[in-house]
């Protein structure tokens, strides 16, 4: 009888005993989960993602919880939609349904800002390779520079699934930090005179037919050049086609709300579930966070420098600050540019131009990922 009671009590105490013997990594990760929850709930930093991620992280690190093990709830979420890439792709349908590409279509040349804003991806790739990361891991780390959570998850879950936790958390954290990361770089690379340049107001010039045909053009052109990225391009453009066609309001609304909400919850929990202490707390994780920061900073710098070039070529008609919005963090990056522009010229409203560059950055990030996947395929690495 006594033996039986002792065995029962040891079952209850096993978690606590584990935490105080082998559980230091778990304890640290409980702190990390708590920090993510604090940032999301108290500081309003990407709460829709950081709260499920933080909660998943906390759950999986409670010793002997088995939530992240085979058959565990978080592992089931992971297998349901992350391992097979369904969740990030459904998020893309939602993003397409939410995005108005109008400002971009008004001035299509601004798409090139969306290309310049991806340059950090390729520079970071070189740095990751120089640090000794294998090719596919380096690609997964560099893709944080896409500044686009679903793209980072899509690529990493396929080619470096063991890095999914740090890459996803880095991608979403830095996206949320865009208002802090962008301004110092924008100020360092431009003169006060350049920042004060006023741009001509965009006139409305796009027909509804053009808006409806745009997603189809993107999938045909993008799909022909980089077929490996068609799931990314196809889903974002499906969402946008539904939005612009205007005939499936129920599906558009469901994509923007119910689907996006449910998938975000499952995706966040699944990512949090990959952050088990013993797997997460490695020097590699720190390196990934460092390079992710570098990637996004280089994107912004490349965008501003490209903006300066365009400013020179157009005889000072383009404010180089809009180049900084050529990343995928929409609409945050455009708002930061608007705020910075107003700081140096109270009549300078750059929002529409910056929103064009920002939506260009959204397409640019997806095209860049599609290109990388297709080039990897061409080289026989995937």
C-beta of 17: minimal distance to other proteins in Å? 45
Binding-site size for other proteins (CB under 8 A) equals 47
**Binding characters for other proteins, 131-150, by CB under 8 A (x = yes):** -x--x--xx-----------
Candidates 302, 293, 349, 294; CA nearest to 325 is 302
With beta carbons less than 8 A apart as the criterion, state whether 356 and 109 touch.
no
- What is the DSSP annotation of 56-101? HHHHHHSTT--TTSTT-HHHHHIIIIITTSHHHHHHHHHHHHH---
Q: Smaller CB distance to other proteins: residue 307 or 360? A: 360
Which of 310, 334, 350, 367 binds other proteins (CB under 8 A)? It is 367
Candidates 185, 191, 226; CA nearest to 369 is 226
With beta carbons less than 8 A apart as the criterion, state whether 307 and 320 touch.
yes
Q: Does 314 bind other proteins (CB under 8 A)?
A: no
Q: Does 201 bind other proteins (CB under 8 A)?
A: no
Tokens of 131: 């640090």
Which of 109, 198, 278, 312 binds other proteins (CB under 8 A)? It is 109
C-beta of 281: minimal distance to other proteins in Å? 26
Q: Smaller CB distance to other proteins: residue 42 or 203? A: 203
Determine if the peptide bond prior to 331 is cis (ω within 30°).
yes
Which of 55, 77, 119, 172 binds other proteins (CB under 8 A)? It is 119
Q: Smaller CB distance to other proteins: residue 55 or 119? A: 119
Candidate ranges 254-262, 282-290, 315-323, 366-374; the one touching other proteins (CB under 8 A) = 366-374
Q: Does 313 bind other proteins (CB under 8 A)?
A: no
Q: What are phi and psi of 39, to 5 degrees?
A: -60, -40
Q: Does 115 bind other proteins (CB under 8 A)?
A: yes
C-beta of 207: minimal distance to other proteins in Å? 5
Candidate ranges 215-223, 261-269, 316-324, 339-347; the one touching other proteins (CB under 8 A) = 215-223
Q: Does 363 bind other proteins (CB under 8 A)?
A: yes
Sole residue written with tokens 């974002």: 236
Q: Smaller CB distance to other proteins: residue 176 or 368? A: 368
User: Measured in whole angstroms, how far is the alpha carbon of residue 363 from the centre of its chain?
Assistant: 13
Tokens of 30: 């409980």
Q: How far is CA 315 from CA 108, 194, 218, 306, 310, in A?
A: 19, 12, 31, 14, 8
* Residue 198: Cβ within 10 Å count: 13
Which of 26, 118, 151, 274 binds other proteins (CB under 8 A)? It is 118
Cα separation of 198 and 154, whole Å?
39
Cα separation of 219 and 351, whole Å?
27
Q: Does 232 bind other proteins (CB under 8 A)?
A: no
List residues binding other proteins (CB under 8 A): 104-105, 108-112, 114-116, 118-119, 121-123, 125-126, 129-130, 132, 135, 138-139, 204-207, 209-210, 213-214, 217-218, 221-222, 225-226, 360, 363-364, 367-368, 371-372, 374-375, 379
């Amino acid at each position: 009888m006594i033996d039986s009671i002792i065995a029962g009590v040891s079952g209850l105490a096993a978690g606590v005993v584990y935490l105080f013997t082998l559980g230091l990594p778990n304890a640290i990760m409980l702190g990390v989960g708590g920090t993510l929850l604090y940032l999301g709930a108290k500081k309003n930093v990407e709460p829709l993602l950081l709260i499920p991620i933080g909660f998943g992280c906390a759950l999986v690190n409670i010793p002997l919880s088995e939530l992240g093990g085979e058959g565990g709830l978080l592992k089931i979420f992971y297998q349901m939609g992350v391992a097979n890439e369904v969740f990030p792709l459904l998020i893309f349908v939602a993003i397409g349904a939410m995005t108005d590409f109008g400002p971009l279509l008004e001035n299509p040349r601004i798409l090139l800002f969306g290309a310049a804003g991806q340059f950090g991806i390729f520079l970071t790739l070189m740095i990751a390779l120089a640090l000794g990361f294998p090719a596919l891991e380096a690609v997964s780390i560099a893709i944080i520079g896409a500044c686009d959570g679903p793209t980072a998850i899509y690529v990493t879950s396929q080619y470096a699934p063991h890095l999914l936790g740090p890459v996803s958390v880095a991608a979403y954290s830095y996206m949320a930090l865009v208002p802090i990361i962008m301004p110092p770089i924008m100020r360092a690379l431009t003169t006060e005179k350049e920042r004060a340049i006023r741009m001509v107001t965009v006139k409305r010039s796009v027909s509804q037919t053009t808006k409806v045909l745009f997603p189809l053009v993107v999938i045909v052109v993008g799909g022909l050049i980089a077929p490996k990225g068609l799931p990314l391009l196809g889903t974002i453009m499906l969402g946008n086609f539904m939005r612009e066609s205007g005939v499936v309001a129920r599906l558009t609304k469901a994509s923007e709300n119910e689907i996006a909400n449910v998938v975000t919850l499952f995706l966040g929990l699944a990512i949090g579930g990959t952050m088990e202490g013993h797997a997460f707390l490695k020097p590699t994780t720190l390196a990934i966070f460092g390079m992710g920061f570098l990637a996004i900073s280089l994107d912004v710098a490349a965008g501003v420098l490209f903006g300066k070039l365009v400013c020179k070529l157009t005889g000072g008609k383009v404010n180089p600050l809009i180049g900084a919005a050529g990343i995928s963090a929409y609409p945050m990056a455009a708002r930061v540019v608007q705020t910075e522009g107003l700081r140096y010229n109270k009549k300078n409203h750059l929002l529409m131009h910056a929103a064009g560059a920002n939506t260009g950055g959204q397409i640019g990030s997806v095209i860049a990922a599609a290109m990388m996947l297709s080039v990897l395929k061409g080289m026989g690495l995937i």
